[in-house]
Amino acid sequence: MDMSQYKDLFISEVREHIQGMNEAIVALEGAPEDRERIDYLFRMAHSIKGMSASMGYGGMAGLAHKMEDLMDRVRKGAIGFASGVADLLLEGSDFLSHMLNDVDAGGDGQRDIDDLVSRLAGYAPPPAAEPARTDGSETGPSDGETPLPGRLQQPAVSDKPDSVHNVRVKTEVLDTLVNITGELLTHKNRMVSMSRELGSPALTEAISDLSRLVRELQNEVLKVRLMPFGSVADRLPRTVRDLAKKSGKEVVFRVSGKEIELDRGILEELPDPLLHLLRNAVDHGLEAPADRVAAGKNPAGTISLEARREKDRFLVTISDDGRGMDPCLITAAAVGKGLIAPAEAALLSPQESLMLICLPGFSTAAAVTDVSGRGVGMDAVRASVQAIGGGLAIESAPGRGSRVTLSLPLTISIIQVLLAVCGTMVVAVPVTRVVRTVDLTRDAVISRGKRKLFLLGEEEIPLMSLHRFLGIRFHPIKGPSVPAVVVEMKGHLVGLVVDRFLGQQDVFVKPLGRPLNRMRGFSGAAVLGDGQVIFILDPANLV
Partner 1 sequence: MNSRGRRFLIFTLRGKQYSVNAGDLSEVMETAATFPIPRAPRCYLGVMNFHGVPTPVLDLASFLFGDPPTGPGNLLVLDHRFGSLALRIDTVVRIVSDIRDLRIQPDEGAFVRHSILFHNERIPVLALDMLVDELEEEARTGRPGNGGIGSDKTGRE
Residue numbers of the site for partner 1 (CB under 8 A)? 183, 186, 424-425, 427, 469-472, 510, 512-522, 525-527, 531-535
DSSP single-letter state for residue 510: B
Q: Which lies closer to partner 1 via its Cβ, residue 228 or residue 524?
A: 524
One-letter amino acid for residue 325 of the chain = M
- Minimum CB–partner distance for residue 117 and partner 1 (Å): 54
Q: Which lies closer to partner 1 via its Cβ, residue 374 or residue 467?
A: 467
Cα distance between residue 452 and residue 468, in whole Å: 14
Q: Which lies closer to partner 1 via its Cβ, residue 462 or residue 521?
A: 521
Angle at alpha carbon of residue 145, lines to 143 and 149, rounded to 5°: 150
* Widest distance between CA atoms in the chain: 104
Q: Which backbone phi and psi does 154 adopt, to 5 degrees? A: -65, 125
Whether residue 289 has a cis bond before it, omega within 30° of 0: no
Cβ neighbours of residue 250 under 8 Å, at least 6 residues apart? 244, 289, 299, 300, 301
- 43 close to 50: Cβ distance less than 8 angstroms: no
- Minimum CB–partner distance for residue 539 and partner 1 (Å): 13
Q: Which lies closer to partner 1 via its Cβ, residue 81 or residue 535?
A: 535
Q: Which lies closer to partner 1 via its Cβ, residue 57 or residue 522?
A: 522
Cβ neighbours of residue 208 under 8 Å, at least 6 residues apart? none
- Minimum CB–partner distance for residue 508 and partner 1 (Å): 9
Residue 115, helix vs strand vs coil: helix
- Minimum CB–partner distance for residue 426 and partner 1 (Å): 8
CA atoms within 13 A on the CB side of 402: 26
Cα distance between residue 356 and residue 394, in whole Å: 10
- 419 close to 410: Cβ distance less than 8 angstroms: no
Q: Which lies closer to partner 1 via its Cβ, residue 7 or residue 190?
A: 190
- Minimum CB–partner distance for residue 425 and partner 1 (Å): 5
Cβ neighbours of residue 268 under 8 Å, at least 6 residues apart? none
Q: Which of 225, 9, 200, 198 is nearest to 100 (CA)?
A: 9
What pairs with residue 303 in β-bridges?
Answer: 253, 320
Q: Which backbone phi and psi does 162 adopt, to 5 degrees? A: -65, 135
- Minimum CB–partner distance for residue 519 and partner 1 (Å): 4
Q: Which lies closer to partner 1 via its Cβ, residue 213 or residue 519?
A: 519
- Residue 470: C-alpha distances to residues 34, 80, 87, 97, 339 (Å): 65, 73, 72, 61, 25
- Minimum CB–partner distance for residue 359 and partner 1 (Å): 12
- 507 close to 528: Cβ distance less than 8 angstroms: yes
Cα distance between residue 326 and residue 226, in whole Å: 39
- Minimum CB–partner distance for residue 470 and partner 1 (Å): 4
Q: Which lies closer to partner 1 via its Cβ, residue 191 or residue 446?
A: 191
Q: Which lies closer to partner 1 via its Cβ, residue 438 or residue 526?
A: 526
Cα distance between residue 74 and residue 42, in whole Å: 9
- Minimum CB–partner distance for residue 390 and partner 1 (Å): 17
- Minimum CB–partner distance for residue 524 and partner 1 (Å): 8
Q: Which backbone phi and psi does 254 adopt, to 5 degrees? A: -120, 135
- Minimum CB–partner distance for residue 386 and partner 1 (Å): 11
Number of other residues whose CB lies within 10 A of the CB of residue 8: 12
Q: Which lies closer to partner 1 via its Cβ, residue 79 or residue 512?
A: 512
Number of residues in the chain? 543
- Minimum CB–partner distance for residue 126 and partner 1 (Å): 60
- Minimum CB–partner distance for residue 174 and partner 1 (Å): 19
- Minimum CB–partner distance for residue 420 and partner 1 (Å): 12
Cβ neighbours of residue 249 under 8 Å, at least 6 residues apart? 282, 286, 287, 288, 289, 301
Q: Which lies closer to partner 1 via its Cβ, residue 425 or residue 431?
A: 425
- Residue 98: C-alpha distances to residues 15, 160, 447, 543 (Å): 10, 8, 77, 61
CA atoms within 13 A on the CB side of 235: 10
Q: Which of 306, 164, 285, 151 is nearest to 230 (CA)?
A: 306
Q: Which lies closer to partner 1 via its Cβ, residue 410 or residue 470?
A: 470
Q: Which lies closer to partner 1 via its Cβ, residue 293 or residue 516?
A: 516
Q: Which lies closer to partner 1 via its Cβ, residue 355 or residue 527?
A: 527
